[in-house]
Structure 1
């Protein structure tokens, strides 16, 4: 009777309380796959996903679950709470736990966003906490080419006569260690690095165009104990300029980036702004990257999404002269109806690392994927989507990449679900 009375009291209390809507958003992918060589596929079996394309080349289970709520709104001012938690695993066990298996849980975002507190720019947002900060990504290669995220504080969307300005300070630390000749590691804690980020967006030089420009400056802030280990880790600069254009058959974006010091390696790693503290002397490093991406609507039912990347980095590590990367991925999609589509994806990459001695290391690969999908619409980005796929991979430089070191190529197949909301 006491338990029943308590249950009635709780229900009555909830009924009397105003229930506020909680924003629920996120991303998820999961599925199953197998290799024609035998065995199942799992996280880690992907082959150069960021240069050959992700379709039929993802075998992990990954999710980001976000919950948000407006906590205050009065007199034209508001406070919004945003959170996001990651749950991921290798995607190969019926029961996956964080205690003994591959399941991982992480805090991805946790911040407050305040709006209406700057009278001269009421649409501006003051934010603080942990955040995905204005990330720029290319979906078909799962690459975020401009991504300075982490713990920070900033003011964004400050309206100007034309366009808007955003500024932020974001912390991105990395573990600093050394290894002796026997492979023993000595840890020196996390190396503190701050990013000063400034962006301007919204200028349209002509009809159908839009632009964005940004400056990121990485400040390395070692402790006294770390000072001697970080003499070659100088403050780094990354400049980004992009222009997009819509036209009758779709749209295209061109991106040009310059990086130096510890940021130079982003040009050839498909990175978005992380600082390299592991490659040795990067004090003279310089890099640049060119990206072209967009959609081409051949007919009402036939669309091609594509991305081309060329990057080069020089002196971005000990005994390293330069490194070049070329990557091209295209994803043609034919819509049989608003909810059924056949998808192809072809990818090719070539990467060459040249050492000060004159010797070089080359890597190159090719991928072909065919898939049929049922989805929530005919857009190439319509989700949720369930896709049935088969992929062919070839390592153009090595003949022992697949089938336990016995083959230069392989085939995998499976089913995957992907959704965002």
Structure 2
């Protein structure tokens, strides 16, 4: 559905319900990370990511400036208490060592969100209708910036309809993100609110990818089950199990439509956020993923990592991040270990999630020869390759300064 058509449709529906009050103040939110970095030898900072791994540990290992600005404008509040609003987001990406002219690979300005939403509808028991391009029901591990279950896309949906103590959502989307080249229809059904134990809740999601209209394409599906335990050892624990076939191996995203049902992916995600008192907090994670492919390209990926943070004073923290990735692939077992130490100034307090943070960091990484061989075959440059920033060495280091904040 075109964005203009979606906005007009929601506007007509709102008008039919009757107006109660004029537009409210503009709302905004945002995210920013920016800094400077260099290799220990004096070249441009080169970030460490293992070939075949879905993600990387991000503290002291981000080689770009990135910013998002989101604006939300309530247009109408109706007599029944429902609200019609529009929202949009602009993002900026620019790699370290590049200028800001935004030509070619130097950077990008994007519009990742632009949608209309009619929320708090009594007819939907407090649910909402929306249409457009939207970040939607994103689940991520912060220390790895890993969105393991992400239903974002360009489309329309019915969100969080309350029935019998649970909430139901359905989305039809045509494109996951700005970088997907071909439109593919994806259906997502999400159910939340299953109380399993005191402080614990379960949510389920099923995704189906329709077969595109060409002979070499296939349909696919995936299933995600997630349990979140609040007040666990002073924090929150999340456990997710996921399975997909064919294009459903994207596990929430739209995967390769050239894969048939013989391609399967299994994934287990476990991570724990804690705040033990006002000064000691952090996040620890474990991911295991297995890909089965009859074309011989199947692999296993395992990732273990932690980021503890201890506040020495009300505003000064010592943050450490240790991550290890392994990939068992046809070319051998690739491995990468990465350690970052980051003295950090946090003016809003000592908690792990307090932002902004200004970090001075030192990052050291080691990898094996199989990882270097795999990196040599990558189309883009890699810090792990024999022609990368660290040459034939199997280790390297970066130093830098970074600010991160959100509001």
Measured against the shorter chain, the TM-score band is 0.7 to 0.9
Which residue among 81, 95, 112 is the counterpart of 2:86?
Answer: 81
| Residue equivalent to 1:217 | 208
1:119 deviates by 2.1
- Correspondence 1:353 to 2:356: no
- Correspondence 1:157 to 2:160: yes
SS across alignment from 1:338 = coil
Q: TM-score, normalised by structure 1?
A: 0.81
Find runs of 4+ consecutive structure 1 residues off by over 6 angstroms. 173-176
8 A contact 1:292–1:309 mirrored in 2: yes
CA RMSD of aligned residues (A): 2.5
| Residue equivalent to 2:13 | none
8 A contact 2:43–2:389 mirrored in 1: no
| Residue equivalent to 2:27 | 23
1:146 deviates by 0.7
Question: How many residues are treated as equivalent by the alignment?
Answer: 367
| Residue equivalent to 2:232 | 247
- Correspondence 1:112 to 2:113: no
8 A contact 2:212–2:219 mirrored in 1: no
SS across alignment from 2:247 = helix
Which residue among 182, 191, 195 is the counterpart of 2:186?
Answer: 195
1:162 deviates by 1.5
| Residue equivalent to 1:167 | 170
Q: Report the Cα distance in structure 1 between the residues aligned to 2:389 and 2:159, rounded to whole angstroms.
A: 50
Which residue among 291, 298, 305 is the counterpart of 1:313?
Answer: 291
1:174 deviates by 9.2
| Residue equivalent to 1:276 | 256
Q: Report the Cα distance in structure 2 between the residues aligned to 1:272 and 1:339, rounded to whole angstroms.
A: 39
8 A contact 2:33–2:66 mirrored in 1: yes
1:22 deviates by 1.4
8 A contact 2:205–2:225 mirrored in 1: yes
SS across alignment from 1:119 = helix
Q: Report the Cα distance in structure 1 between the residues aligned to 2:243 and 2:96, rounded to whole angstroms.
A: 37
8 A contact 1:52–1:365 mirrored in 2: no
Q: Report the Cα distance in structure 2 between the residues aligned to 1:160 and 1:403, rounded to whole angstroms.
A: 56
1:173 deviates by 6.9
1:96 deviates by 0.9
Instruction: Mark the structure with the bigger radius of gyration.
Output: 1
8 A contact 1:243–1:254 mirrored in 2: yes
Which residue among 354, 362, 369 is the counterpart of 1:382?
Answer: 354
SS across alignment from 1:193 = coil
| Residue equivalent to 2:302 | 326
1:38 deviates by 2.7
Unaligned runs of 5+ in 1: 1-17, 177-188, 355-359
8 A contact 1:85–1:108 mirrored in 2: yes
- Correspondence 1:406 to 2:392: yes
Q: TM-score, normalised by structure 2?
A: 0.84
Encode CA deviations 1:181-219: one digit per residue, 9 max, x unaligned.
xxxxxxxx9533111111111222111112211111111
Which residue among 239, 257, 275 is the counterpart of 2:242?
Answer: 257
8 A contact 1:54–1:142 mirrored in 2: yes
1:412 deviates by 0.4
